[in-house]
Amino acid sequence: MSTQRINIDPRVAQNAPTLRWAALYPIRTRDANLPSRRPPVVATVDALRRAVRAERRAGRRVGFVLTMGALHEGHLSLVRAASEECDFTVVSIYVNPSQFTPAEDLAEYPRTFEADLDALTPCGANLVFAPGDEEVYRPGHATWVTVGGPAEPLEGRFRPGHFRGVATVVLKLFEMVQPDAAYFGRKDYQQLLVIRRMAADLDLPVEVRACSTVRESDGLAMSSRNAYLSPDARRRASALPRCLGRAEALVAGGERDAEQIARQMREVLQAAAPLEIDYVVLADPETLQPVAQVVGPTVALLAARIEGTRLIDNTILSPPTD
């Protein structure tokens, strides 16, 4: 299957897919109503803007899905959502170094560019933007975006500097693509709040759309980092969705004390030891400030490490109304 390339940087076509990755996340068969060829690839901002400008002149609505590659069904669901709501869908594939802390897995992060293009083929992507680091962070780059509020607790505490890197690259990509709507998954709940806060505070003319978390058969949220898990670690990782299920069941059964709920959530995780818990928190779904009682919609968030792989997940707890 051939790929149309426009000003392609040869460095973006790297790292063919591994068998492990293909087995972990098989791709859905093609929808007969969607394109049957790989989307074209651009690697420069100038080429990207020319392509998007032509679509805008034709009066088309532009959707945007930001990824770091190693695509799985969670990413592809965002692309399908964008293609359903927009006339022209851009997908970025860029492993952003500035959002990795020094102790994290930048060098080991899965890079499966050719497989990603194959995966995008049936999903309605119209253009792939795959820049190199030198295109995103030009020599002398010295401007960074720091978001307060929802960026400060939880991931902000455990991964200092992470959201500075996220906010900076998202703002830069928004400026490069200038989409009408951008699509993000609810699995990265705190990131979603941070991006919405930034977009609102900076008056960005983009609609930030949230899409449901896509899960595997045992409930584990799909993540590119799931590929790191050994079979035993993968089995123990199923404790994360069970932990959230325990919280949902407790609230449905009338429990309102947030600390009691969090304690039982931790017990579910601890039963899957060895496992290191970073946090288990019940918080306000807009501010991420901890709550003492579940009296309205509340977000339960957790982060844990299994064999060195850090996994996050969340759910909205909604107490029954009388």
Residues taking part in catalysis? 75
Structure tokens at 293: 């009682």
Per the rule left: phi > 0, alpha: psi between -120 and 50, beta: everything else, 295 is alpha
Q: How far is it, in rounded angstroms, from Cα 25 to Cα 16?
A: 15
Helix (H) or strand (E) holding 267: helix 258-270
CB within 8 Å of 234: residues ≥ 6 apart? 220, 226
* Three-state secondary structure call for residue 279: strand
CA distance 312 to 302: 6
Q: Phi then psi for 109, rounded to 5 degrees?
A: -60, 135
Q: How many CB atoms lie within 10 A of CB 245?
A: 14
Continuous segment of H or E residues that includes residue 115: helix 113-120
- 213: helix, coil or strand? coil
C-alpha distance from residue 138 to each of 170, 172, 181, 255, 289 (Å): 16, 12, 26, 53, 37
Nearest to 224 by CA among 158, 311, 114: 311
Report the alpha-carbon distance of residue 313 to residue 281 in Å, rounded: 11
> What CA–CA distances, in Å, run from 47 to 6, 86, 130, 173, 300?
7, 21, 11, 14, 42
Q: What are phi and psi of 288, to 5 degrees?
A: 65, 15
Over its C-alpha atoms, the chain yields an Rg (Å, rounded) of 20
